[in-house]
Amino acid sequence: MGVNRKRVKFYIYYVLIIAILFVAVSNQVQASPSVSSQKAILMDQETGRILYEKDAHSQSRIASITKIMTAILAVESGKMDKEVTVSSNAAGTEGSSLYLKAGEKIKLEDLVYGLMMRSGNDAAVAIAEYVGGSLDGFVFMMNEKANEIGMVNTHFSNPHGLDDHEDHYSTAYDMALLTRYSMADEVYKEIAGTKVHTAPNPEEKWDRKWKNKNRLLTELYKYSTGGKTGYTKLAKRTLVSTASKSGESLIAVTLNGPDDWNDHIGMFEYGFKQFDYKIVLEKGLIKKIDDEVYKDHAYLKRDSVLSLTDDEVEDVKVEYKMLKPKQEWVKNQNVPDVVGRAVVYLGDKEVDTLPVFYKTSSATEEEKSWWKFWAFSFESLMGVRHHG
């Protein structure tokens, strides 16, 4: 009997251990989203941190998500209230269309709404000809803006994304960068998040009424804030979308995604569940510095905010790398505005750098930031009295 009891106990322990391991592995698997798309990325809109990626830096055709660049250039032109005369070239553009007629006049703002909501290729050409002076001129502007934003693996050859050029491509990462840049513009943000738009139609008795093609925004995902759909025979389904929940804003991009709606929902849910904004440095007076020259004078002009999992909190640290003070600085004489930098690390990776400023009179605490999260700090003094 004693041997049998030992065997029973052994099997019970064995089953318990297997069950615990199964739960642990299941939780780990569920932590990463399941994505059907060949290329994908999930980026935090506020901090720019990549929360998930899948072959995100490989160049690929992008179809109509190209129009995000076309839209932001139109918005930045400062001509949104101007009327555009539609050319025969624009009216004859193939593919998805607003059914514009050659010679008709339409406000640039309405063209951008039609571009983003109905993916009008005719609108894309009309915008390009008006804003850039010509298609070639506008394509030049597109690539200049791409360079400015840091889209190093991108080249534009048209304003709509049709498969009429071999050298028209981008990456999931670059399109996330473009979206992050564009969403900082309130006009673009409003357009991208509009579900229905009405535009005058002077040649008919009824106005044009457009419903957004982005089903995440219109019906599938209540936290959706905008985006752009795309499809061509060569690019397949492409999708850029944005979402916000409890103050956290995310960007998702998929290229060649057969189940892209669910891909985006899965990535968003993963991001909202696993990551939160944390203030790792608060703007205002730096209390950790007690050097006689810098004490009560060194301060930060902005918060440092990271998107972190709970497990990553303990991996954050801050190092202050300060200039070696000069003798006259003791009397607040000839002190430069910037006297060092605060470097924020997540593990061994540098994730943020803030200039440290100097006030000749005691720096006062600035107004608290809008972040509605508990601040925490992992500061250590590094390089005080040494050049950073």
pLDDT in tens, 313-338: 999 999 999 998 887 887 777 889 99
Q: What percent of the chain has a predicted confidence (pLDDT) above 90? A: 75
Whether residue 375 is predicted with pLDDT greater than 50 in this model: the reply is: no
Whether residue 2 is predicted with pLDDT greater than 90 in this model: the reply is: no
The answer to whether residue 293 sits within a structural domain is yes
pTM score of the predicted model: 0.83
Question: Considering 249, 274, 299, which residue would you say is the last residue of a domain?
Answer: 274
Per-residue confidence (pLDDT) for residue 260, from 0 to 100: 97
Co-location of 106 and 131 in the same domain = yes
Question: Considering 274, 298, 330, which residue would you say is the last residue of a domain?
Answer: 274
Co-location of 333 and 232 in the same domain = no
pLDDT tens digit sequence for 295-308 = 888 999 999 999 99
The answer to whether residue 1 sits within a structural domain is no
Per-residue confidence (pLDDT) for residue 206, from 0 to 100: 83
Per-residue confidence (pLDDT) for residue 262, from 0 to 100: 97
Q: What is the CATH number of the domain that holds 282?
A: 2.30.140.30
**Could you list the active site residues?**
64, 67, 119
Co-location of 250 and 297 in the same domain = no
Per-residue confidence (pLDDT) for residue 31, from 0 to 100: 65
Co-location of 89 and 175 in the same domain = yes
Co-location of 227 and 154 in the same domain = yes
pLDDT tens digit sequence for 148-192 = 999 999 999 999 999 999 999 999 999 999 999 999 999 999 999
Co-location of 346 and 371 in the same domain = yes
- Structure confidence at residue 21 as a pLDDT band (50, 70, 90): low
Question: Considering 240, 257, 274, which residue would you say is the last residue of a domain?
Answer: 274
| Mean predicted lDDT score pLDDT of the chain | 88
Co-location of 72 and 143 in the same domain = yes
Per-residue confidence (pLDDT) for residue 376, from 0 to 100: 47
Whether residue 22 is predicted with pLDDT greater than 70 in this model: the reply is: no
Per-residue confidence (pLDDT) for residue 5, from 0 to 100: 59
- Structure confidence at residue 370 as a pLDDT band (50, 70, 90): very low
The answer for residues whose C-beta is within 8 angstroms of residue 38's C-beta and 6 or more apart is: 54, 55, 60, 255, 256, 257
Give mean pLDDT, residues 67-88: 97
Co-location of 338 and 361 in the same domain = yes
The answer to whether residue 32 sits within a structural domain is no
pLDDT tens digit sequence for 249-295 = 999 999 999 999 999 999 999 999 999 999 999 999 998 888 888 88
- Structure confidence at residue 24 as a pLDDT band (50, 70, 90): very low
Q: Which domain covers residue 281, as residue numbers?
A: 277-381
Q: What is the CATH number of the domain that holds 213?
A: 3.40.710.10
Maximum average pLDDT range among 4-8, 23-27, 43-47, 367-371? 43-47
Domain count, the chain: 2
Question: In this structure, are residues 212 and 115 in contact, taking their beta carbons and an 8 Å threshold?
Answer: no
The answer to whether residue 192 sits within a structural domain is yes
The answer to whether residue 230 sits within a structural domain is yes
The more confident residue out of 8 and 120 is 120
The answer to whether residue 258 sits within a structural domain is yes
Co-location of 155 and 259 in the same domain = yes
The answer to whether residue 228 sits within a structural domain is yes
